[in-house]
Amino acid sequence: MSDPRSRTSARHARSEAHGAPRTSIIMPVYNTAARVVGSIKSVLAQTDPDFELLVMIDGSPDDSSGVVADFVEATGDQRIRVFDNPENQGVSAVRNQALDAARGSWVSFIDSDDRYRPNFLSTMHAFAEAHEADVVACGHTLVHATGENRDRFRTPAGVYTGEQAVLGLLEDRFTPYVWDKLVRASLFEDLRFPEDIHRAEDAVLSMGVYAGARRAVVISTSLYEYTVDSGSLTWGRVTPVEQSDLLMDHLRRAAGGAVTTPAGRRAYDVSWVLTYLNNAQQALFSGQREARGVIGRCRSRITWSQTLRALRARPVFGAAGVLLKTSPALYRALYGAYVKRAYGL
């Protein structure tokens, strides 16, 4: 793998040669032929037109490639750059490919079945400039197939240091997503998505971004429409516990020195408990043969001392850890009720 610094230098050279856009928008595409045009249109409708859109087709098994090609040809919009990978590489790999090719001074992301509000870029840039921030995060709206929409905001609006954002992300007070953020491109010089995990890779990238940021801004405006797909919330796939182990190692390294302080260690314990809770939740709802073994291993990963520390920092997560360790059946029932209420399913 090439040195990220040399990749960045190459990107800067391309920028000077072609005229750098203000923002590089990265859109991975896989199996979304029915929705991808709507997502692209939401980008083209931005009130801030100074961007490039990198459409990263990831060996999609449907006709996404043809749909995108036909739309781009019809529009003739030179801001759209299509990378049609014939083989599936995974979302992290194609996002990294896009980061290598991006020419903008800022980077944002969008999933190919979601939409930006028209003022996504203009509003995010305005807050970045007003507060001299390296990262801006906004709220998002859950869009259901029924037409019901609901705004979600996790973090109180305000200006935070990078370390505050790191601890907040570990404690699940900041969102782990990449698609609700605008990020200064220089933060990606030594940062890429991990390609050896296939769950929560967004959180690792977001952690690294916050760790490198001087200042982060959270705004109380919903600028992103997130499509709720009930199929994606089923529990048919169970993440191997080893993937959660790798995730926690990635998060620890991405957080850097922030996790060496007493507050950082407490926050890391919260993240640890939450990670294995989420892993166990998949198994509890999957009905798969190996579920019992996964649940048992997740329960053993969470120690009583970590649970007690999580109780002090985030009582809900700590209590959930206690419940999982003492009564998985009751935990399953309570979490099932939460999913129905949170997602309207």
Question: Is 72 within a domain?
Answer: yes
Question: Is 304 within a domain?
Answer: yes
Same-domain pairing of 250 and 176: no
CATH number at residue 197: 3.90.550.10
Question: Is 234 within a domain?
Answer: no
Question: Is 174 within a domain?
Answer: yes
Same-domain pairing of 216 and 264: no
Question: Is 235 within a domain?
Answer: no
What is the tens place of the pLDDT at every residue in 287-318? 778 888 999 999 999 999 999 999 999 999 99
Residue 214 sits in which domain range? 4-228
Same-domain pairing of 252 and 218: no
Residue 332 has pLDDT above 70, yes or no: yes
What is the tens place of the pLDDT at every residue in 121-139? 999 999 999 999 999 999 9
Same-domain pairing of 215 and 326: no
Same-domain pairing of 201 and 318: no
Same-domain pairing of 42 and 187: yes
pLDDT band at 1 (very low <50, low <70, confident <90, very high): very low
Question: Is 339 within a domain?
Answer: yes
Same-domain pairing of 250 and 305: yes
What is the tens place of the pLDDT at every residue in 94-121? 999 999 999 999 999 999 999 999 999 9
Same-domain pairing of 188 and 249: no
Question: Is 236 within a domain?
Answer: no
Same-domain pairing of 193 and 264: no
The residue from 228, 252, 268 where one domain ends is: 228
Total length of the chain: 345
Indicate the pTM of the whole model: 0.90
The residue from 181, 206, 228 where one domain ends is: 228
The residue from 228, 250, 268 where one domain ends is: 228
Same-domain pairing of 167 and 245: no
Question: Is 94 within a domain?
Answer: yes
Same-domain pairing of 249 and 172: no
Same-domain pairing of 245 and 332: yes
pLDDT band at 236 (very low <50, low <70, confident <90, very high): low
Domains contained in the chain, number: 2
